[in-house]
Amino acid sequence: MSRRLTDGKKVCVIGAGTMGSGIAAHLANLGFQVSLLDVSDEAVREAFSKAKNVRPPHFFIRQTAETIRLGSIEKNLEWVSEADWVCEAIVEKLDLKKALFARLDPLLAPDALISTNTSGLELGLLLEDRSDSFKSRFFGTHFFNPPRYLKLLELIDTPATDPALLPVVTEFLEKRVGKRVVRAKDTPGFIANRFGMWSMFHAIHIAEKLQLSIELVDEITGPFLGRPKSASFRLNDMVGLDIMEDIASNQMARCPNDPYIGTLVTPKSMQYLRSEGHMGNKAGKGYYQRVGQELLVFDLQTNAYRPQFKEEHKTLADNARKPIGERIRTALAAKDEVGEFLRLYLLPTLRYADYLKKEISYSVADFDHVMQWGFGWELGPFGLTDAIGSDLVLPAPKQFYIGSEQLRVDESGLEPVPSQPEYRSLSEYPVTEEHGSLLLRDLGDGVSSIEFSSKMGVVTTHGVEDLHRFLDEGRPGPFVLANSGRAFSVGFDLHFFLEAIETGNWRGIENSLKRLQGLGEKLSHSPVVAAVHGYALGGGFELAMNCRRVVALSDATIGLPEAKVGLLPGGRGVTLMRLRSQHSPQIAKEAALNLIEGTTFSNAVEAKVNGYLTEDDVVCFHPDLLITKAKELAMTAAPREEIAFKSLAPFVNGMIEEEVNKKLKDGTLTTYDDFVGNHIRFIFAKSMSYEDLPRLEVERFLQLCQRPETKARITHMLEFGKPLRN
User: What's residue 363's pLDDT?
Assistant: 98
Evaluate whether 244 touches 198 at the Cβ level (below 8 Å): no
- Tens of pLDDT along 469-502? 999 999 998 999 999 999 999 999 999 999 999 9
Least confident of 201-215, 307-321, 601-615: 307-321
Task: Report the C-alpha gap between 576 and 305 in whole angstroms.
Answer: 52
Q: What pLDDT score does 490 carry?
A: 98
Whether residue 146 has a cis bond before it, omega within 30° of 0: yes
Tens of pLDDT along 628-648? Answer: 999 999 999 999 988 889 888
Q: Which pLDDT band, with edges at 50, 70 and 90, does 45 fall under? A: very high
Beta strand pairing status for 305-306 and 294-298? Answer: antiparallel
Residue 21 contacts residue 55 (beta carbons within 8 Å): no
pLDDT at residue 688, rounded to an integer: 78
**Cα-based angle 422, 425, 426 (whole degrees, multiple of 5):** 115
Burial of residue 210 (number of CB atoms within 10 Å: 0-12, 13-18, 19+): middle
In 3D space, the residue among 336, 315, 337 whose CA is nearest the CA of residue 327 turns out to be 315
Encode pLDDT of 369-420 as tens digits.
Answer: 999 999 999 999 999 999 999 999 999 999 999 999 999 999 999 999 998 9
pLDDT value at residue 687: 67
The CA distance from 453 to 443, in Å, is 17
DSSP 492: B
Summarised one tens digit per residue, pLDDT across range 210-258 is 999 999 999 999 999 999 999 999 999 999 999 999 999 999 999 999 9
| Predicted structure pTM score | 0.93
Closest CA to 338 of 217, 515, 475: 217
- Rounded mean pLDDT, 578-596: 95
**What CA–CA distance (Å, rounded) separates 365 from 387?**
15
How many Å apart are CA 487 and CA 458, to the nearest integer?
Answer: 9
d(CA 57, CA 625): 22
Task: Check residue 454 and give its pLDDT.
Answer: 96
Mean pLDDT of the chain: 96
DSSP letter (8 states) at residue 436: T
Q: Is the peptide bond before 56 cis (omega within 30 degrees of 0)?
A: yes
Alpha carbons 504 and 615: distance in angstroms, whole number: 42
Contact 270, 204 (CB under 8 A): yes
**Contact indicator for 644, 553 with CB cutoff of 8 Å:** no
**What local confidence, expressed as pLDDT, does residue 126 receive?**
96
Beta-strand pair 138-143/113-116: parallel
Structural domains of the chain ordered from first start: 2-184 (3.40.50.720), 192-416 (1.10.1040.50), 438-718 (3.90.226.10)
The predicted structure's pLDDT at residue 2: 64
Question: With helix as H, strand as E and coil as C, how does 284-329 read?
Answer: CECCEEEECCEEEEECCCCCCEECCCCCCCHHHHHHCCCCHHHHHH
Position 83 pLDDT exceeds 80: yes
State what percent of residues in the chain have pLDDT above 90: 93
pLDDT for 689 beyond 90: no
Report the length, in residues, of the chain. Answer: 726
Cross-strand pairs, 489: 536
Distances (CA, A) of 49 to 17, 25, 44, 86, 246: 11, 12, 8, 22, 25
